[in-house]
Structure 1
Amino acid sequence: MSLQGEPAHVLIVCTGNVCRSPFIERVLAALLPTDAGVVVSSAGTGALVGRPMEPLAAAQTERYAGSPAGFAARQLVPGIVDSADLVLTATRRHRGEVASLHPRALSYAFTLGDFADLVSGVTPEDVAAFGESGAEGARPRIRALVRAVAARRGLNPPLEASQVDIVDPFRGDETRFEAMAQQVMGVLPTVARALVP
């Protein structure tokens, strides 16, 4: 099913933008149908600007059918946050940094783990209730989804930080990158399914 209209923008945030966020960006993009109308990008709060993905992160990306080709790290700035419809962060600290840069983002920024936990309780009826009358296409639908997910904050018992903060594998060995990838893949398919009607 082709989704007409303006695409929705999902932004992934970590620190250096060479390990966690590019892995999530590229694997999430691979999980989404090409006609989903969702553009996924990433940035770092302390980005190693212009650098490609770390080789071990790239290897994990390929393992989960993503492509590291052409990736270059970029610094998170307010304009990038403002243009996003949904921001997913590697840790709760990153979510705080996103909100410091652009306070309005508190309403549409979540850790990846918290978003997956909250969205699992959202129904199509919930999304429809938060939608704009007559609006069609991916962007209005994702914005309605985000509002429906945000409305569930406080309904679920909060997860422990250890359950949602994705391990930072930077300068670690292959085992640490595998742990990062497994942690992400424990929740990313739930997120991908939620982004597609």
Structure 2
Amino acid sequence: MSDPDGTTRPSLRRADLRRLRDALDHGETPLPASLAADPAARTSPGVHSAPRGTILTVCTGNICRSPMGEVLLRAQLRDAGVRVHSAGTHALVDHEMTEQAQQLAVASGADAAEAAAHRARLLTVQHLAETDLVLTMAREHRSYVVQLLPALLRRTFTVREFARLAATLTDDEVRRAVTAAGTDAGARLRALAELVGGQRGMVPAEPDNDDVIDPYRRSQTTYELSASQLVPAVAEVTRVVRAALG
């Protein structure tokens, strides 16, 4: 399937997306039948990241939620040796962050110049192949990512889901769990994702509370609600990432 600008997007079956989202919400990790039947879809060369470790945030247009998450995480992890970037499943390519999103991000600690410099980009397999941890803004994006690159099944979470699961782990538990991954930041982030993912069966699922509301073209109140859901989740992500890499 191609967009008017000629960009090719994967053809994703709605039934598969629903099944995958429901399975992830309940701590299960099956692949949809359409992907299970295609061995080539299970793996991709170069799935491992650059040595410093990479986190990718994902939403729809890449002009509100995911860039807010990106610039906030970048500000909070600036000295941690982590690359943070973002993309959209149906990005408004080259558009800036909305003014409201920029203001809320900066008010929450993001760098104003970085927020202003953001330009939306379309999510691709290459972005995912270079990423150790994927944090999406909603369950639909999580399902989309896993459909696009099934190898990332256990390293993809909604940001609020990741924060909810990570909150059950102490810093010491995180450090002990990632020790075997060695000193490579990417390997440690992947180990952290496995650790947090392992909590899915231990912590009650809260799928209705795992999404960050989309504020695009909505009121200032909705933007503020979106930020109030995202900012605490980013803080929890920062805590465990620092524990893993420290």
TM-score of the superposed pair, with normalisation by structure 1? 0.90
Q: Which residue of 2 aligns with 1:168?
A: 214
The code of the aligned residue for 2:150 comes to P
Q: Which residue of 2 aligns with 1:45?
A: 89
- Give the drift of 1:117: 1.1
Q: Which has the larger radius of gyration?
A: 2
Q: Which residue of 2 aligns with 1:9?
A: 54
CA distance in 2, matches of 1:177, 1:126: 33
- Same amino acid, percent of matched pairs: 37
CA distance in 2, matches of 1:23, 1:129: 29
Q: Is the contact between residue 11 and residue 87 of structure 1 (CA under 8 Å) also seen in structure 2? A: yes
Q: Which residue of 1 aligns with 2:205?
A: 158
Structure 2 spans left out of the alignment, 5+ residues? 1-49
Q: Is the contact between residue 177 and residue 192 of structure 2 (CA under 8 Å) also seen in structure 1? A: no
The structure with the largest helix share of the pair is 2
Q: Which residue of 2 aligns with 1:92?
A: 139
- Give the drift of 1:142: 1.4
Could you tell me which of 75, 96, 100 is aligned with 1:30?
75
The code of the aligned residue for 2:160 comes to G
CA distance in 2, matches of 1:165, 1:112: 8
- Give the drift of 1:13: 0.4
| Equivalence map 1:1-197=2 (5 Å) | 6-32=51-77, 34-67=78-111, 68-123=115-170, 124-125=172-173, 127-132=175-180, 135-161=182-208, 163-197=209-243
CA distance in 2, matches of 1:174, 1:143: 36
Runs of 4+ more than 6 Å apart: none
Structure 1 residues 19-59: Cα deviation after superposition (integer angstroms, max 9, x where no partner): 00001110111122x32011110000000001110111111
- Give the drift of 1:130: 4.9
Q: Is the contact between residue 174 and residue 240 of structure 2 (CA under 8 Å) also seen in structure 1? A: no
CA distance in 1, matches of 2:176, 2:187: 10
The code of the aligned residue for 1:26 comes to V
- Give the drift of 1:82: 1.4
CA distance in 1, matches of 2:175, 2:139: 25
Structure 1 residues 84-130: Cα deviation after superposition (integer angstroms, max 9, x where no partner): 10000001111000011111111100001110111122343455345
Aligned length: 190
CA distance in 2, matches of 1:128, 1:144: 11
Superposition CA RMSD, Å: 1.6
TM-score of the superposed pair, with normalisation by structure 2? 0.73
CA distance in 1, matches of 2:174, 2:219: 43
Q: Is the contact between residue 127 and residue 145 of structure 1 (CA under 8 Å) also seen in structure 2? A: no
Per mean C-alpha deviation after superposition, the further-off stretch among 174-183 and 117-126 is: 117-126
